[in-house]
Amino acid sequence: MAYGMSVPPPPDLDALSLDELKKLVVQLLIEVTALREDNQQLGAENARLKDLPKKPKLTPGGMDKATEPDKRARTKEAPRQRRKRQSGRRTPPVTLERTLVIEVPSGSRRRGFENYTVQDLLLAPQVIRFRRERWVTPEGQEITAPLPPEVSGHFGPGIVRYVLMQHVQGQVTVERLRAQLKSLGVRISKGQIITILTANKDAFHAEKDAILEAGLASAAWVTVDDTAARHAGRDEYTTHIGNDRFAWFATRPSKSRLNFLDLLRAGDPVYVINTAALAYLIEHGVPESIVAALLAAGSRSFDDDAAWRVHLDSFGLGAGQRRRVTEAAMIGAIVARGLLTDTVIVSDDAGQFDVFQHALCWIHAERHLRRIVCVTDEQHRLVDVQRQLVWWFYADLKLYKDDPTAIRRTALRARFDRIFGRITGFTELDDTVSRLHANKNELLLVLDRPDIPLHTNGSENDVRSFVTKRKVSGETRSAAGKQARDTFLSLLKTCSKLAVSFWDYLGARLKIPDADRVPWLPDLIRKKVSA
């Protein structure tokens, strides 16, 4: 018996009925099983702390890789996997066939042909002159034969496709694109390339916006992140929302919660006061008088910002209350559209993302420990021990996701409290651990939802493409340029996740003759969910 622990008096077994005794036995069996599991976890922790084998190598940002299963086990399967991948390669369809003949000695016997396939690429400009018939009707009206549907300017869809492909996927700057095209014999200016990239892209923008709605309506989880973006000489922020089926980017002047909720409305400007909105207000401590006034008001739905502002003005709210009520009305609108009904939002703990069902990234949580400034050897040792405990716990969370059970869930919750309830005497470490412990519900949401990821690596990988483009091309200057960048990055990354060739996608949308058909991307997202 541990010192200082009070033990409740045992029940009077003789006074219990048979059913009560059976219930007690079942309860005790469950507790014993959980204690055994807990005991095993404690033994494992003690063994690890004694520097027994399988001690992970602590490196900056290496928690996820270091907790992967033993690489030696994967190595045995590697040859078979490699053979499988190689066997899945297919020769592209033949577009041209040439027969090669040779002179043979007299009396030779023909053995047929041997096929040898070569892939090649033809890049050559075409200048097409359309001779459009012109007529004058009996009424004196002039009519002219229309251009083909794929032609929308003096540069054909092939050039438009090439420019978009090179700039968006190839990260080629406008200046280098102009040099490329000039060397191929295309007469084009820098301004004309910018026009190709930004003008008349309404159909692409519409598909991009529909991607977000389809993604949020069908997603079990999304990861989110943001990054800085310069626009017209000012600091702005690009927010990423996505999962394994879609990626979506939007750049705004701020990264507030209001901005994030506005993005989650997926282009619909409606505000709604409903049960979800009221629950948000109550959760965030808005006075009951304000909640009652909102309920007493006749209108519950507002079509746009102007109508909502007029409604708010009638309540005489302060700036803080006005912001909170607006957040609630946005949440009400999102729920009313059937979005994020059971979706978990996984973030890096930035405050603006803490809405709906919210989970935290374990990789970012561990980074808080890694950033602690140590002065003495003892402080370094204490931090290393804490990081090791977190890494081992993270590895077991990954195992739990593969095989979730009630007993393991109970044991992991108890183990979390032990790991993040430790007091070391190193103030900065203890404060950091205490803050992480306060986020227990969001860090352990995975125990109830083992389908969600433990990190936001997906968002960070998607954002990396944006950062690369920012470094290559610099800031955007026009609203059309900013919108085009966000749209085409969203389309590119979504195509990649849906295993759709971006080249084929552009060909289909630009109505290039003989281009492969590519379905509407939002439909593919929904189809992938139902499959």
- Per residue in 12-41, pLDDT (tens digit) is 667 777 777 777 776 776 666 666 666 766
With pLDDT > 90 as the criterion, what percentage of the chain qualifies? 71
Nearest to 247 by CA among 286, 282, 208, 298: 208
Q: Is 401 helix (H, G, I), strand (E, B) or coil?
A: helix
Q: Give the mean pLDDT of 483-500.
A: 97
Contacts of 273 (CB under 8 A, 6+ apart): 294, 295, 297, 300, 301, 328, 329, 332
Q: Is the pLDDT of residue 222 over 80?
A: yes
- Pick the range with the lowest mean pLDDT from 151-155, 283-287, 480-484: 151-155
pLDDT 10s digits, 369-394: 999 999 999 999 999 999 999 999 99
Higher pLDDT, residue 67 or 252:
252
Measured CA angle at 121 (ends 181, 115), to 5 deg: 170
Amino acid at 92: P
Distance CA(280)–CA(378), nearest Å, equals: 45
Q: Spell out where 232-304 has E strands.
A: 234-242, 247-252, 271-272, 301-302
Distance CA(263)–CA(270), nearest Å, equals: 12
